[in-house]
Amino acid sequence: NAGVTQTPKFQVLKTGQSMTLQCAQDMNHEYMSWYRQDPGMGLRLIHYSVGAGITDQGEVPNGYNVSRSTTEDFPLRLLSAAPSQTSVYFCASSLVGVGDYEQYFGPGTRLTVT
Amino acid sequence: GNSVTQMEGPVTLSEEAFLTINCTYTATGYPSLFWYVQYPGEGLQLLLKATKADDKGSNKGFEATYRKETTSFHLEKGSVQVSDSAVYFCALANQGAQKLVFGQGTRLTINP
């Protein structure tokens, strides 16, 4: 199993450009989510999904779009990049149901917006 | 709302020293509590967890006890190693939910 994979590892964008961060998992997890990590602020939830076709907003959704057409993939779209979106982005996945299932994190994408 | 507060870092210790990283939380209901670890250049990994009051989570020599009366989940290790150098995150989730709320993280450096 590859677990949770993210591409690219690094990306530099100019203000106003758009891009998609890719996330895939091969563990058949229903739940997938995107976090951003900023110095001194921990990880903050951007969007999440509890299954194909179902997405919802987290704590900091503005400027980001998501969709979930398959169980495996959960891409994050930046429609018009801003310097405030410079951050490290992590995708995570887990099972859903009664009980506290471990979340598995990808290696992250470091994004710089100039 | 739910929130997690960790002790400010960075923390620097010598090998074999005793480690405590403080974590307190504010939550409605009875959350589950977690410690995640992030090694340099990697994503987060679950280190340990506790799902109810007085539960003790443990893994790799690390321990943390869920204290409802003090709303705390402090991370401890009796003798740290250089390989423990990483960033440690305390987090909570409402019971049966997947959404995690993280503390700000504590960077730990262990010197030989």
Cβ A90–B43 below 8 Å, yes or no? Answer: yes
- Nearest by CB to residue A106, choosing from B36, B43, B95, is B43
Distance from the B19 Cα atom to the nearest Cα atom in chain A, whole angstroms: 20
Cβ B96–A42 below 8 Å, yes or no? Answer: no
- Chains A and B form CB pairs within 8 A to the count of 56
**A22 inside 8 A of chain B by CB:** no
**A102 inside 8 A of chain B by CB:** yes
Which residues on A lie below 8 Å from B101 (Cβ)?
45
Residue A82 in tokens? 């801003």
Cβ A43–B89 below 8 Å, yes or no? Answer: yes
pLDDT digits (tens, 9 = 90+) for A9-64: 999 999 999 999 999 999 999 999 999 999 888 899 999 999 999 999 999 999 99
CA B1 to chain centre: 20
Encoded amino acid at B107, one letter? R
pLDDT digits (tens, 9 = 90+) for A75-109: 999 999 999 999 999 999 998 876 667 889 999 99
Residue B7 pLDDT > 90: no
**Above pLDDT 70, what percent of chain B?**
97
CA A51 to chain centre: 14
